[in-house]
Amino acid sequence: MEEVKVIGFWASPFSRRVIWALKLKDIPFEYIEDDLFNKSELLLKSNPVHKKIPVLIHNGKPISESSVILEYIEETWPENPLLPEDAHERAIARFWIKFIDDKGPVFFAAFKAAEEEQEKAVKASMEVLKTLEDHALGDDKFFGGNRIGLIDLVLAFIYWMEVMEEAIGLKISLREAHNFPKLHAWAENFREVPMIRDNLPDRSALMDHFRHLRKFFI
């Protein structure tokens, strides 16, 4: 019998994308919550290079970095595929996954920025969202079609960003449909998927987490 474990942190979008992928593929796993302020020996042993969550442990063998883990899940359990069958479409999906991961620090910069620097950071965040709105999303419910895939799981940090906006008063306003209508519609469709909706972190708890975390940067 296969043994699958996930070391994660409840408030991390990177942990959630791995959890969602496994659940969408109906892969049983054990979830292990870690304390990022007092990291466990299991985490340090499983990811000695970066010492970060998430880590997938499959039959005793650890895999680190969430995007790498998603690829591993897709290759190891090809049932209920989360990448397109067509090679070109898979390449396009990987392009956007890398784009989103590479631009992730832009949004965290807005979260960390002092008040006088926030306007610049927010503008950079808006530019990234505009790129996704104009070039990544079509007219389907999800990226690349009407079935949820890896790009959707990676972009799910938008939920965290919405909560972050509300928690600390950022003015990206993704919640307002007129700013980014395609992304807004996508976010609504994404959250309606039962497997996603039932495995989102509690919004109030996440807001408290962001407010607490913000104190370390101001």
Residue that terminates a domain, selected from 46, 76, 106: 76
Is 170 among the domain residues? yes
pLDDT at 74: 97
Render the burial of 63-76: b for 16+ CB within 10 Å, e for the rest: bbbbbebbbbbbee
Length of the chain, in residues: 218
User: Does the pLDDT at position 144 exceed 80?
Assistant: no
| CATH code assigned at 138 | 1.20.1050.10
Share of the chain above pLDDT 90, in %: 62
Which runs of E-coded beta strand occur in the chain? 4-8, 30-33, 55-58, 61-64
Q: In what order do the strands lie in the sheet with 55-58?
A: 30-33, 4-8, 55-58, 61-64
Instruction: Return all residues near 105 (Cβ < 8 A) that are at least 6 apart.
Output: none
Is 81 among the domain residues? no
Residues 71 and 95 in one domain: no
pTM here is 0.92
Q: Which residue in this structure is represented by tokens 């998430």? A: 54
CB-CB contact of 107 with 100 (8 Å): no
Residues 59 and 133 in one domain: no
Mean pLDDT value of segment 106-130: 80
Lowest mean pLDDT across 113-117, 137-141, 190-194: 113-117
| CATH code assigned at 51 | 3.40.30.10
Query: Which tens digit of pLDDT belongs to each residue from 174-195?
Result: 556 677 889 989 999 999 999 9
Residues facing residue 142 across a β-bridge: 145
User: Does the pLDDT at position 108 exceed 90?
Assistant: no
pLDDT at 161: 84
